[in-house]
Amino acid sequence: MHSMLSYPLDAPRIMRKRRTIRQELLERNTQMTDKRIAILGGSTTHDIREILELFILDQNIRPLFYESEYGQYWQDAMFGTDTLRAFKPDIIFIHTSNRNIMGYPDAASTAEDVEKLLQAQFQHFVTMWDKLQQEYHCPIIQNNFEYPYYRLRGNRDAVDVQGRVCFITRLNMLFAEYARDHENFFINDINYQSADYGLEKWSDPIAWYLYKYTLSLNAIPTLAFNVANIIKSIYGKNKKALALDLDNTLWGGIVGDDGVENLVLGQETSMGQAYTEFQEYLKSLQQQGVVLCILSKNEHENAIAGLNHPQMVLRPEDFVDIEANWDSKSRNLTRAAQKLSLLPESFVFVDDNPAEQEQIRQSLPETAVITARKVEEFVRHIDKGGYFEITYVSGDDLRRSEMYRENLKRVQLQESYADYGDYLRSLNMRAEIRPFADIYMARIAQLTNKTNQFNLTTKRFSQEEIEKMAGDDHYITLYGKLEDCFGDNGVVSVVIGKINGDEIDIILWLMSCRVLKREMEYAMMDEFVSRCKKTGLKKINGYYYPTLKNSMVKEFYGTIGFTKILEDETGNAKWFLNVENEYDKKNSNILVVG
């Protein structure tokens, strides 16, 4: 992550140094995916586009932009332009403000008038969103509205239906309702952002009169950061885990020196309250699917004793992994990541000690490091970092901690078996392997966007594209869901084949790393081959495109009986399998229910 683009933001420097920052981002040797973003503005958007580009590049996404002419958001959406149609956006970002509200109640308006006005204003937007959805089938990001800059009725402006504060509040509630009912529609909450930034600072009359910006220029990085967080989350690039220090981070004091009984925690002291509240915040994140781990320089038994302190909000079982030893933090983080089949880039590191923060920053540059050093600052820094922005809620997210814990139990069981086959059989695995089904579309799209390691082609798809392929006879689609004696892993594998005459090209094959070495890939292959045979296909073509992260599957097709026919100097390879021949089933340890 670029040091200037994480919380807290130095807005004037970002605004001024944008060219240099952009250059630095482009020169990083990381793999980028291209995304086409259409900005439909109700006011000037030029600087918003430039700053948004930086935050998106920082997520390893290279944005290509379409930008509407000044104030033309509604016209572009409703009537389209040839350029916009040809552009084929992956995401539409509508930037409006309360200056785009066309009518407000006045002193003489009756409650009925106000209701009509409210509905008319809401419908103006709904018509546009529906039209965009129908035409472009892509995620839409739409802001709600910041409060007005003056209050004709003073405090009653929030109370009377004629008040603008009241009107905007009601309109924002309607927007939120629409967002709850529409899966590919996301609210950019500028109502919160402007309040948080300070409405007085947010609204800069000069920026409006001179340049037609509806927010102050120095507020643009805050806005762009928030929008980029939504985009990052849509593409499955959220962080997944928090790596937490213990002494002076989760509790006050040093357990090894001060003893468990002297740790600062609980409601009796101000400092104790601060640590307790921080733990309550972490507990809420955990309930929402964020995985918690401990990295502590401590004797293991001291760490456990501290975690069992009666006033701890978090209990030892809330942490899926506890690394308490004298190794470096980066080594422990890497170890935790391996145990959980995650990459270090999926972690946010929290430690009061700046030397440890620096050690992680240098050894694991992709890991997010919270720069706060005091307990009373941790919540704000973690929260505003936007690491865990939620766009799609899948059941799997909520169960994530549980799933990682089940996985660790599997590892322990494996260690108790000398023969790997015995171990696999003891798991009593059952898989459900079927063509894409409606209830799993969100999860399938999420997997295509965040799976990096076991992923042959690393093609990213939107939910819309996934749904289209599912309904098209020219594709064979399969999802795989795996259960075992420890629990349900959910949907963990996805295969998409595109039929081409009597051959089929596997355009996507991925599997979540949490079920690696369970023969799930064999089960998927067996099912895929059997469906290809049924359809009368003669040949399956498999492709491997190397990325920085998927070398583990370089020879995958070879291991399941394919023959390599092409490989270029960059490692792109084509494999094939003749399915006219006899095919021996590869999976013997998973019971498959079709």
Partner 1 sequence: MMEKLYEIQDIIRDVLGDETITINQQSTAADVGRWDSLANVQIILAIEDTFGVEFSLDEMTSFYCIGDIIRTIEQKTGER
In the complex, the residues that contact partner 1 under the rule CB under 8 A are 12, 15-20, 46-47, 205-206, 209-211, 213, 217-218
Residue among 54 and 138 whose Cβ is closer to partner 1 = 54
User: Of 18 and 425, which has the nearer Cβ to partner 1?
Assistant: 18
Which one, of 58, 52, 59, 21, lies nearest residue 37 by Cα? Answer: 52
User: Rg for the chain (alpha carbons), in Å?
Assistant: 26
Q: Measured from the CB atom, is 136 or 213 closer to partner 1?
A: 213
Nearer to partner 1, 55 or 347 (CB): 55
Q: How far is the CB of 14 from partner 1 (least distance, A)?
A: 11
Query: The dihedral of CA 243, 247, 252, 256: what is its sign?
Result: positive
Q: Are 579 and 573 in contact (CB under 8 A)?
A: no
Q: Computed from CA positions of residues 69, 57, 142, 212, in that sequence, does the dihedral angle turn out positive or negative?
A: negative
What is the C-alpha to C-alpha distance for residues 543 and 564, in angstroms, rounded to an integer?
9
Residue of 376, 140, 188 lying closest to 276 (CA atoms) = 376
Residue 522's SS3 state is: helix
Q: Which residues contact 56 (CB under 8 A, 6 or more apart)?
A: 35, 37, 62, 63, 228, 231, 232
Cβ of residue 24: shortest distance to partner 1, in angstroms? 13
Q: How far is the CB of 40 from partner 1 (least distance, A)?
A: 19
Contact 39, 93 (CB under 8 A): yes
Cβ distance to partner 1 smaller for residue 17 or 498? 17
Task: Specify the residue, 16 or 85, whose C-beta has the smaller distance to partner 1.
Answer: 16
**How far is the C-alpha of 293 from the C-alpha of 324, rounded, in Å?**
10
Q: Give me the numbers of helices (H) and strands (E) for the chain, helices first please.
A: 24, 18
Complex with partner 1: residue 67 or 189, whichever CB lies closer: 67
Cβ proximity to partner 1: between 105 and 221 the closer is: 221
Tokens of residue 160, six digits: 């009377």
Using the minimum distance from each CB to partner 1, give the nearer residue, 222 or 463: 222
Pick 22 or 373: Cβ nearer partner 1 = 22
Rounded (10°) CA dihedral 77, 439, 347, 263: 120
CB of 68 to partner 1, least distance (A): 15
Q: CB of 190: closest distance to partner 1 in angstroms?
A: 20
- CB-based contacts of 369-374 (< 8 A; 24+ apart in sequence): 371/8
* 214 vs 455, beta carbon nearer partner 1: 214
Smaller CB distance to partner 1: residue 206 or 393?
A: 206
Least distance between partner 1 and beta carbon 141 (Å): 23
Q: How many residues does the chain have?
A: 594
What's the closest the beta carbon of residue 15 comes to partner 1, in angstroms?
Answer: 6
Q: How far is residue 156 CA from its own chain's centroid? A: 40
To the nearest whole angstrom, how small is the minimum distance from the Cβ of residue 215 to partner 1?
13
Residue 294 to residue 321: CA distance in whole angstroms = 6
Q: Cis link prior to 344 (omega < 30° from 0)?
A: no
Lateral strand order in the sheet of 140-143: 61-67, 33-41, 91-95, 140-143, 185-188
298 touches 248 (CB < 8 A): no
Q: What is the rounded distance in angstroms from the CA atom of residue 337 to the CA atom of residue 135?
A: 42
Q: How far is the CB of 168 from partner 1 (least distance, A)?
A: 26
To partner 1, the closest distance from the beta carbon of 262 in angstroms equals 47
Distance of CA 98 to the CA centre of its chain: 29
Q: Which residue has the tokens 């015995």?
A: 422
Pick 12 or 395: Cβ nearer partner 1: 12
Q: Scan for tokens 């933001």, then name that residue.
A: 9
Smallest distance from partner 1 to CB 199, Å:
18
- The Cα 187–Cα 96 span in angstroms is 12
Q: Please answer whether residues 454 and 510 qualify as being in contact, where contact means their C-beta atoms are separated by less than 8 angstroms.
A: yes
Structure tokens at 91: 């995401």
DSSP for residue 74: H
- In angstroms, give the least distance from the CB of 17 to partner 1: 7
Q: Output the smallest distance, CB 296 to partner 1, in A.
A: 42
CB atoms within 10 A of CB 427: 18
